[in-house]
Amino acid sequence: MSGLNGVLERLGGRATSSIHRLGFASRFLLLTLRNSGMCFRRFSLVIREIYFAGVLSLIIILVSGLFVGMVLGLQGYDTLVRYGSSSALGVLVALSLVRELGPVVAGLLFASRAGSAITAEIGLMKATEQLAAMEMMAVDPIARVIAPRFWAGVISMPLLAAMFSGMGVFGGYLVGVQLIGVDAGSFWSQMQDSVDFSEDILNGVIKSVVFGIAVTWIAVFEGYDAPPTAEGVSGATTRTVVTSSLSILALDFMLTAFMFRGA
Amino acid sequence: MMNRKALDLWVGVFVAIGLGALLFLALKVGNLASFSAAETYLVKANFDNIGGLKKRAPVKSAGVVVGRVEDIVFDTENYEAMVAFSIEKRYEFPKDTSAKILTAGLLGEQYIGLAAGGDTAKLKGGDKLKITQSAVVLENLISQFLFNKAADGGKETK
């Protein structure tokens, strides 16, 4: 009987602690937003973080985009040619990239490339008491450290997703048109016929902005909340990647359900 | 630590590539370029059956896209579908133009095809097309075909 009680106790403890963390995370997001005035007045702070979050993720995003597009081209052709509609390859590649794969895969890569780095950096700053030192010097660490990283992530993510989609379409073109020999005219014209600017492209951009907010929010929060030890920082980095990847996929399902309800 | 100038340069390059990719998506992948801001006028038409026609489907005449379907509603007065579509101002049509719902290919998307009549008066915004032809519903075609077959079969056995 006492064993069951222990299990229940642990279960309840875990539930309350995760609700505590959710509450703290929400308060933390509000605090970050309220203290972001300074990083827009000193925009060089944000620029430095865009360099670390965005520019350094450029290679992995562009290369993965190219390969995902090329795979889509090959697999899409293989399926479409059975129905004699290989000219719709451009539509398939562009729609799957712009609507889903671009924002989602770019978001997952961004979470593991940039999100983990943000968490580790902030966690180490906390462990080495740099954040406490800032507070001693009457510098708000949230305005000076957290907000610039948050906004840099929110700005970088849609740009990275757009690059991923653009590169993917180019990869699909390389494989479909240059390698397999689908007609270039029908590839582009059918694509332009069925990809709608507001319906598909803008919705993709909205998705990537939402993912950017989610990933950087989780990353800065996990860093700020990390226990100031070596294991604490490593655990927080792992949690950032796991939590943000799962939230990207869950959010993607919800956004897709809202945006493309077969209308 | 990298100096400020180099940092700004790299971030500038990054943002430029990102915006370039967005522009590429909008102009080359999407239809923003063909989705011109040309002025249009709205024309209505009633159909017995619109099949699978959807909003934003193209309106074509002689195969050229001249407009888009704007709205589809069910008209409760005569139990027909009322389709409103916009035509670009530079394309003028006679008043007795007829509209058909056609299908691109065997299983493709459906669109409205306009065939010009011989009237000298031109269509204006808000006009209603009088001559329309509904979408072909595959099931009806098949059942017609089967009925004919059955009728033929009956004759042969006699």
**Contact partners, residue A219, CB within 8 Å, separation at least 6:** A111, A114, A115, A116, A118, A119, A149, A153, A240, A244
Whether the CB of B14 is below 8 Å from some CB of chain A: the reply is: yes
Supply the pLDDT for residue A221. Answer: 94
Q: Per-residue pLDDT for B113 more than 80? A: yes
Secondary structure of A188-214 in HEC code, one letter for each residue = HHHHHHHCCHHHHHHHHHHHHHHHHHH
Specify the pLDDT at position A64. 96
- Helix (H) and strand (E) counts for chain A? 13, 0
pLDDT in tens, A100-123: 999 999 999 999 999 999 999 999
A50 to chain B nearest CA, in Å? 7
B126 reaches A (C-beta below 8 A): no
Nearest residue on chain B to A173, alpha-carbon basis: B29
Q: Which two tokens stand for residue A6?
A: 């222990």
Q: Chain B interface, mutation test: which of A45, A49, A50, most B Cβ atoms within 10 Å?
A: A50
Distance between CA A194 and CA A92 in Å, rounded? Answer: 10
B155 inside domain: no
Tell me the pLDDT band of B154, cut-offs 50, 70 and 90. Answer: low
In chain B, what residues touch A158 (CB-CB under 8 Å)? Answer: 18, 22
pLDDT of residue A106: 96
pLDDT tens digits along A152-200: 999 999 999 999 999 999 999 999 999 998 888 888 888 887 888 888 8
Assigned token pair, A53: 């979050």
Q: Which one of A47, A163, A200 has the shortest CB-CB distance to B8?
A: A47
Residue B7 has pLDDT above 80, yes or no: yes
Nearest in space to A209 (alpha carbons), one of A138, A169, A258, A151: A151
Within a domain: B50: yes
Let me know whether B29 and B102 are in one domain.
no
In this complex, do B21 and A94 lie within 8 Å of one another by their Cβ atoms?
no
- Asked if A58's CB is within 8 angstroms of B14's CB, the reply is yes
Residue A85 has a pLDDT of 82
Task: Looking at the structure, tell me whether residues B116 and B62 fall in a common domain.
Answer: yes
pLDDT digit string (tens) for B53-111? Answer: 887 788 888 988 888 888 889 988 889 899 998 888 888 889 888 999 888 776 677 88
Number of other CB atoms surrounding residue A66 within 10 Å? 18
Q: How far apart are CA B123 and CA B118, in angstroms?
A: 12
Give the residues of chain A that fall short of pLDDT 50: 263
Q: What is the pLDDT of residue B53?
A: 83
Q: Cα–Cα distance between B120 and B102 in angstroms, integer? A: 26
Identity of residue B93 = F
Phi, psi of B87 (to 5 degrees): -120, 140
Predicted pLDDT of residue A149: 93
pLDDT at A192: 84
B21 touches chain A (CB under 8 A): yes
Cβ within 8 Å, pair B35-A191 = no
Chain B touched by A60 (CB under 8 Å): no
β-partners of residue B64 are B61
- Residue B148 domain-assigned? no
Q: Name the residue among B21, B57, B137, B16 with its Cα closest to residue A168.
A: B21
Asked if residue B155 has pLDDT above 80, the reply is no
- The answer on B29 and B46 residing in a single domain is no
Tell me the pLDDT band of B33, cut-offs 50, 70 and 90.
low
Q: Are residues B13 and B72 in the same domain?
A: no
Residue B9 forms contact with A (CB below 8 Å)? no
Q: Is B147 a member of any domain? A: no
Asked if pLDDT for residue B48 goes beyond 70, the answer is: yes
Using the structure block, give the residue that is written with the tokens 């009925």. B147
Q: Are residues B94 and B125 in the same domain?
A: yes
Question: What's the whole-number mean pLDDT along residues B127-132?
Answer: 86
pLDDT of B50 over the 70 cut: yes
Residues B78 and B49 in one domain: yes
Quote the pLDDT of residue B35: 53
**Token output for A128:** 């080495």
Is B23 inside a domain boundary?
Answer: yes
Q: Structural domain tally of chain B?
A: 2
Q: Among residues of chain B, what percentage have pLDDT more than 70? A: 89
Judged by a CB distance cut-off of 8 A, whether residue A152 touches chain B is no
Q: Is B135 left (phi over 0), alpha (psi -120 to 50) or beta?
A: beta
Set of chain B residues whose Cβ sits within 8 Å of the Cβ of A159: 14-15, 17-19, 21-22
Please provide residue B105's backbone torsions phi and psi, each rounded to the nearest 5 degrees.
75, -170
List chain B residues with CB under 8 Å of A48. 7
Do the domain assignments include residue B99? yes
The range of the structural domain enclosing residue B24 comes to: 1-35
- CB contact burial A103-122 (16+ within 10 A = b; e otherwise): bbbbbbbbbbbbbbbbbbbb
Q: What is the pLDDT of residue A68?
A: 96
